[in-house]
Amino acid sequence: MDSVKTIDTPYNNAVSVINRTNQLLLENNIKDSTGEAVAQMDATPANPAWLFALACGSLHTAWQERIAKAYSALDAQNCEDDQVLVLAAIAGLSRDSGTPSHITATLSNNGNASVTIPVGTIYSESVSGHNWALNRNVTLAPITDPGHTATVVLYSTEDGAFYVPAATEFNNSDYPDVTCISIAQSFEGDSIESLSSLRNRISMGKEQSDFLLQAMNAIERLPAVESCSIWFNKSISQNLIVGNKIVPPRTCYIVIKGVDITEKLADVYFSYLDIPATVGSMESTCRRGMQDLDIHYDVAAEVAVPVYVTIRASDAAAGADGAYSEAVMAMSGTLGCGENLTAQKVSEWVQNVGYGTVIGCNVGTSTGITSNINPDEYVVFTPENIHIIRANVE
């Protein structure tokens, strides 16, 4: 019996106790009360010894359960949900937190009195069925006066990817004279990382344990390296897929953003990790412990990602196109290896440019919300791929 992986029932354990006892009686020629036959015990409730064996069997089952639980507590794929977070902390990983979705909308006062709506006011809509919170205090003038409309941002009160299209009506019964209409589709957030995903990251994913972080930080301090990513496949039997790369078991894969510094990279790498890296486009040999260990790595390639910034035409100042383009170009190459560009990130870059009202941002395509680059690539921008769009919306 494998006491770690197999849990027997109390009955089966009791039968094993009786069978073993009968075997010992036979081997030692222990006679029954007649003195003629070898004593043997029956597995029946009428036999007091059977009840004792059943009690022993129950204790043995409980012991097996505890051993199995202790064993699985070290296995990210089979441990209980609460233990996953413990193993993640031991591995230096944290569960990815979620982010809310957000959407740009126009508030319009249709009444004859001014209205002040405080930050955090909750609006509802029927498309996704979620609630949304106002991002700032807003005071709207009466409908006959300038200032009776305002552009605001609403954030979902729950983390997650919630899609809401443009021209969606948001409702709040406390302000019956005020309409709230989205002027662009929502920027979808992210749900909190599932425990299944976290289990996979602990088992095989991009490792963030102390020694790998130390190696990565040390490599990034080299003058020719802007950023670095390291994956370690801790499996002993399965390959790890990173982008289009195959990382063999017990192997490290390194991607740097910078120039060819193979010898320095090898020296720093082996200062922290005494394991071979066997994937990559470049290599050198490092002598450690009477062994020649190959250092393989990739230098991240540039990927030009199109960016679309939509501004409201009616209040765009002179020179707005150039100002927004320059704000995006200033961030070219600032993201790390394999870091995807998101519409939300572009929105953060351009919201405070001050040449008009930004009502939406997209990446990759005119409706895209995230890029899709490989781990050995990084995002850059070119002037011809930055598109400033003017929308005729109120």
Helix 81-90 with 195-203: angle, nearest 10 deg = 40
pLDDT of residue 288: 39
- C-alpha 297/C-alpha 288 separation (Å) is 18
Tokens 């209040």 belong to: 315
Q: Do residues 104 and 123 touch, judged by C-beta distance below 8 A?
A: no
User: In terms of C-beta distances under 8 Å and separation of at least 24 residues, what long-range contacts does 109-113 make, across chains too?
Assistant: 109/140, 109/141, 109/142, 109/143, 109/148, 109/149, 109/177, 109/178, 110/143, 110/177, 110/178, 110/179, 111/142, 111/143, 111/177, 111/178, 112/142, 112/143, 112/144, 113/142, 113/177
70 contacts: CB under 8 Å, gap ≥ 6: none
DSSP state string for 36-96: SSB-----STT-HHHHHHHHHHHHHHHHHHHHHHHHHTT-TTTS-HHHHHHHHHHTT--PP
Type of residue at 269: Y
List of domains in the chain: 10-72 (no CATH), 100-182 (2.40.30), 204-299 (3.30.70), 303-391 (no CATH)
pLDDT at 210: 54
Could you tell me the two tokens for 263?
């010898």
pLDDT at 259: 61
Token pair for 340: 């995807």
Tell me what pLDDT residue 3 has.
40
**CB contact at 8 A, 325 and 383:** yes
Q: Which two tokens stand for residue 186?
A: 């929502």
Q: Report the alpha-carbon distance of residue 51 to residue 210 in Å, rounded.
A: 53
- Residue 200 pLDDT: 76
Residue type, 218: A
Per-10-residue mean pLDDT of the chain, 394 residues long, equals: 62 87 86 79 80 86 76 72 78 74 91 94 94 92 92 89 92 95 86 82 56 68 72 73 76 72 58 50 43 58 92 88 91 85 89 85 88 86 93 78
Which residues share a beta bridge with 247?
240
Q: Helix or strand or coil: residue 132?
A: strand
- The structure tokens listed for 115 are 């209205």
Q: State the pTM of this model.
A: 0.45
Q: Which of 331, 73, 295 is nearest to 347 (CA)?
A: 331
What length does the chain have? 394
Are 138 and 152 in contact by the 8 Å Cβ rule? The answer is yes
Q: Where are the beta strands (DSSP E) in 94-186?
A: 100-109, 115-117, 122-124, 131-134, 138-140, 149-159, 169-170, 178-182
Using the structure block, give the residue that is written with the tokens 């470049």. Answer: 282
CA-based nearest residue to 254, from 208, 209, 284, 297: 297
Looking at residue 71, its pLDDT comes to 65
Residue among 106, 177, 109, 105 at smallest CA distance from 146: 109
pLDDT for res 204: 56
The owner of tokens 């597995």 is: 43
Rounded to an integer, what distance in angstroms lies between the CA atom of residue 262 and that of residue 48? 76
Residue pair 90/82 in contact (Cβ under 8 Å)? The answer is no
Q: How far apart are the first and last CA of the chain?
A: 75
- pLDDT value for 90: 67
What's residue 264's pLDDT?
Answer: 61
